[in-house]
């Protein structure tokens, strides 16, 4: 390199570092200016009365925030959460989501509280089916009625090392989760308004006004968008052309196709405690057990299985989930008797007249079902006014959505609320997620709304990016999708997972288990930490495979191979060191 080039390079470095320094100083000055006049929110409007909207309303209505909170829900109703067969899925609230419950228990008179308010947690334990091992006990029911039923076995979600916390998780139907959260909202004087469909919003320096389709308007200093994966609020901000501070045309929704995207779900309603024929006898099902029923047909348009998840109440209807590609036969059958006939042929073990009424066959055949969404996240999660006195923030599916295969939808949403709560309190949002309560964290001086939302945005967008990578590669073939490309993909995915499980058993201190298992085994790790570990191992495996290929094709000599193996190992060791240092910190 000539001395001229070196000089030019040095100048460039000098300029860029000076520029970075100036920008940092300017940003600090601007944020100090904004902070000097701004205050914490006193009134909040939550758009969307799903589980995450309601849980956010509860958190913000309680000390230390003590805001006046109004929830605007599009669906009509008198505040009673009713069972809806089109949304009959169950949530598994695992340690990541339970962190929100843990914090909630201890916040009555934050920060000096010794009193524990466990009403909500009590309701979760009353309505939710607690698992004692991984995700509960599963029985896979063979299609052939002559094959005896196997004994149920625990789903342990991984190999060894299952932490005690994995033993805490609760299965709860969506409508019951909404119901217990609504009850808690009433206890904390949250105003719940139904039949309020968000239409638009406008903002000034100190407040945001939400307009609904019925012409009503509501004003608050903070608006929380918890309106699901199509999020009309998020889309409004993205498409807003005005000069308002809340316009966010730069936000993108990054969408990725997963093998589970587009899989369609609909559920056939089974009676409680239904029985499964087993030879000359019958086995009464346990309402808290998981059952997977295999069918006899295996064509790409005819293969169908049934899945039952645990419900605590033995008298509650049991939804039998069907997950199929949109070209499956069940979407072209439009009448009850034909649907029943298809089920009789596919599941000869069952005496169908004993389980399902003619009306239910009719309803099921007409039901349009719901499709699993893209794996998606929003590159923006909050906006605020220049004065820092008003803002809009996204939580839950509004900022990240994915098919339910990794079982983290509700949990990731509850983690958003913990992060929002922490940032509004001025706690360090970037500390590791551990099973602690707020009592262990020292409150810093209350931050301004703008700095709290800035911290939330920075932390969440990075976390959601990692979460979406996990959702794309974690367990996308669990619906036994029948297309040829699904079968090939499932085979390769199984090989990959088996290899990682083997490596993690052989070298437990170096090789992490597959990301989806690590997520469940180590709820104390953030999604970023999980994916960083998985990605490092992927990189090492890719380099090793390339090197072996190179050697095989004669492109590499043995001594090159040796030296590159040494450098790969050094790189891996260094990344482990960094990871462990961070862990120790």
Phi, psi of 393, rounded to the nearest 5 degrees: -135, 145
User: Tokens 């290899």 belong to which residue?
Assistant: 499
Q: Is 47 in the site for ligand FAD (CB under 6 A)?
A: yes
Q: Is 476 in the site for ligand FAD (CB under 6 A)?
A: no
**Total site size for ligand FAD, rule CB under 6 A:** 32
Q: Is 66 in the site for ligand FAD (CB under 6 A)?
A: no
Q: Is 514 in the site for ligand FAD (CB under 6 A)?
A: no
Our CB check for ligand FAD shows the closer of 89 and 571 to be: 89
Which 244-283 positions form the footprint of ligand FAD (CB under 6 A)? 265
Binding part of the chain for ligand FAD, among 214-222, 282-290, 402-410, 459-467 by CB under 6 A, reads 402-410
Binding part of the chain for ligand FAD, among 45-53, 460-468, 497-505, 542-550 by CB under 6 A, reads 45-53
Binder among 34, 44, 50, 107 for ligand FAD (CB under 6 A): 50
Shortest separation between residue 461's beta carbon and ligand FAD, angstroms? 17
CA distance 279 to 268: 24
Binding part of the chain for ligand FAD, among 6-14, 89-97, 180-188, 438-446 by CB under 6 A, reads 89-97
Q: What is the 3-state secondary structure (H, E, C) of 190-251?
A: CEEEECCCEEEEEECCCCEEEEECCCCEEEECEEEECCCCCCHHHHHHHHCCCCCCCCCCCC
Question: Closest CB to ligand FAD belongs to which residue?
Answer: 50
Binding part of the chain for ligand FAD, among 221-229, 297-305, 536-544, 577-585 by CB under 6 A, reads 221-229
Binder among 37, 75, 86, 239 for ligand FAD (CB under 6 A): 75
Binder among 40, 44, 46, 52 for ligand FAD (CB under 6 A): 52
Edge-to-edge order in the sheet of strand 370-371: 153-154, 137-141, 290-293, 306-308, 318-324, 264-270, 370-371
DSSP β-ladder status, 217-220 and 208-212 = antiparallel
Our CB check for ligand FAD shows the closer of 210 and 540 to be: 210
CA distance 481 to 486: 6
User: Cβ contacts of residue 171 below 8 Å, gap of 6+?
Assistant: 90, 91, 92, 128, 129, 131, 136, 288, 309, 310, 311, 312
Q: Maximum CA pair distance of the chain?
A: 91
Our CB check for ligand FAD shows the closer of 128 and 512 to be: 128
* Residue 87 parent element (H or E): none
Residues pairing with 140 in the sheet = 292
Our CB check for ligand FAD shows the closer of 47 and 120 to be: 47
Our CB check for ligand FAD shows the closer of 177 and 540 to be: 177
CA distance 49 to 186: 13
Residues pairing with 351 in the sheet = none
Q: Is 416 in the site for ligand FAD (CB under 6 A)?
A: no
CB 519 within 8 A of CB 474: yes
Residues in the chain: 585
Binding part of the chain for ligand FAD, among 47-55, 248-256, 343-351, 557-565 by CB under 6 A, reads 47-55
* Residue 506 parent element (H or E): helix 484-506
Q: Is 49 in the site for ligand FAD (CB under 6 A)?
A: yes
Which 168-197 positions form the footprint of ligand FAD (CB under 6 A)? 196-197
Binding part of the chain for ligand FAD, among 157-165, 300-308, 348-356, 408-416 by CB under 6 A, reads 408-416
User: What token pair was written down for 396?
Assistant: 């839950």
DSSP letter for 137, please: E
User: Cβ contacts of residue 367 below 8 Å, gap of 6+?
Assistant: 85, 86, 266
Shortest separation between residue 580's beta carbon and ligand FAD, angstroms? 32
Where along the sequence are the contacts to ligand FAD (CB under 6 A)?
A: 47-53, 72-75, 89-91, 196-198, 226-228, 232, 265, 370, 372-373, 396-397, 404, 407, 409-410, 413
């Amino acid at each position: 390199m000539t001395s001229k080039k070196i000089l030019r390079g040095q100048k460039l470095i000098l300029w860029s570092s000076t520029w970075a320094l100036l920008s940092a100083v300017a940003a600090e000055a601007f944020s100090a200016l904004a902070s000097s006049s701004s205050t914490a929110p006193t009134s909040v409007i939550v758009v969307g009365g799903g589980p995450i909207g309601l849980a956010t309303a509860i958190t913000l209505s309680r000390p230390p925030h003590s805001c006046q909170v109004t929830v605007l829900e599009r669906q009509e109703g008198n505040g009673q959460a009713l069972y809806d067969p089109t949304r009959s899925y169950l949530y598994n609230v695992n340690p990541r989501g339970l962190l929100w419950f843990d914090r909630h228990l201890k916040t009555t008179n934050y920060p000096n509280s010794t009193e524990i308010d466990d009403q909500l947690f009590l309701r979760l334990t009353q309505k939710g089916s607690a698992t004692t091992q991984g995700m509960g006990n599963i029985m896979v029911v063979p299609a052939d009625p002559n094959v005896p039923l196997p004994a149920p076995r625990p789903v342990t979600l991984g190999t060894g090392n299952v932490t005690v916390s994995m033993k805490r998780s609760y299965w709860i139907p969506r409508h019951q989760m909404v119901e217990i959260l609504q009850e808690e909202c009433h206890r904390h004087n949250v105003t719940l308004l139904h039949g309020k469909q968000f239409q638009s919003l406008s903002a000034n320096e100190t407040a945001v006004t939400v307009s609904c389709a019925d012409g009503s308007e509501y004003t608050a200093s903070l608006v929380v968008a918890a309106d699901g994966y199509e999020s009309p609020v998020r889309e409004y901000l993205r498409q807003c052309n005005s000069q308002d501070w809340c316009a966010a045309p730069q936000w993108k929704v990054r969408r990725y196709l997963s093998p589970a995207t587009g899989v369609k779900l609909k559920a056939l309603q089974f009676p409680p405690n239904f029985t499964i024929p087993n030879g000359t006898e019958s086995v009464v099902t346990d309402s808290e057990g998981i059952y997977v029923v295999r069918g006899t047909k295996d064509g790409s348009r005819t293969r169908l299985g049934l899945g039952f998840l645990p419900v605590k109440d033995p008298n509650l209807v049991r939804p039998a989930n069907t997950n199929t590609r949109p070209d499956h036969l069940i979407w072209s059958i439009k009448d009850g008797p034909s649907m029943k006939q298809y089920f009789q042929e596919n599941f000869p073990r069952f005496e169908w007249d004993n389980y399902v009424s003619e009306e239910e066959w009719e309803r099921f055949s007409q039901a349009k079902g719901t499709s699993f969404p893209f794996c998606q996240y929003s590159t923006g999660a909050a906006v605020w006014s220049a004065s820092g006195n008003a803002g809009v923030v996204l939580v839950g599916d509004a900022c990240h959505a994915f098919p339910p295969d990794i079982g983290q939808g509700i949990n990731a949403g509850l983690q958003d609320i913990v992060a929002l709560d922490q940032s509004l309190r001025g706690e360090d949002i970037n500390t590791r997620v551990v099973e602690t309560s707020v009592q262990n964290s020292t409150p810093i001086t209350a931050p301004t709304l703008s700095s709290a939302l800035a911290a939330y945005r920075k932390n969440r967008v990075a976390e959601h990016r990692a979460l979406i990578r996990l959702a794309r590669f974690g367990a996308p073939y669990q619906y036994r999708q029948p297309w040829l490309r699904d079968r090939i993909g499932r085979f390769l995915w199984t090989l990959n997972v088996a290899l990682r499980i083997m490596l993690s058993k052989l070298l437990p201190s170096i090789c992490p288990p597959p990301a989806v298992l690590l997520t469940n085994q180590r709820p104390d790790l953030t999604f970023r930490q999980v994916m960083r570990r998985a990605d490092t191992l992927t990189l090492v495996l890719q380099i090793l495979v390339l090197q072996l290929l190179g050697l095989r094709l004669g492109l590499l000599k043995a001594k090159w191979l040796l030296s590159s193996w040494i450098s790969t190992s050094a790189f891996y060791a260094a990344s482990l060191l960094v990871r462990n240092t961070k862990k120790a910190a």
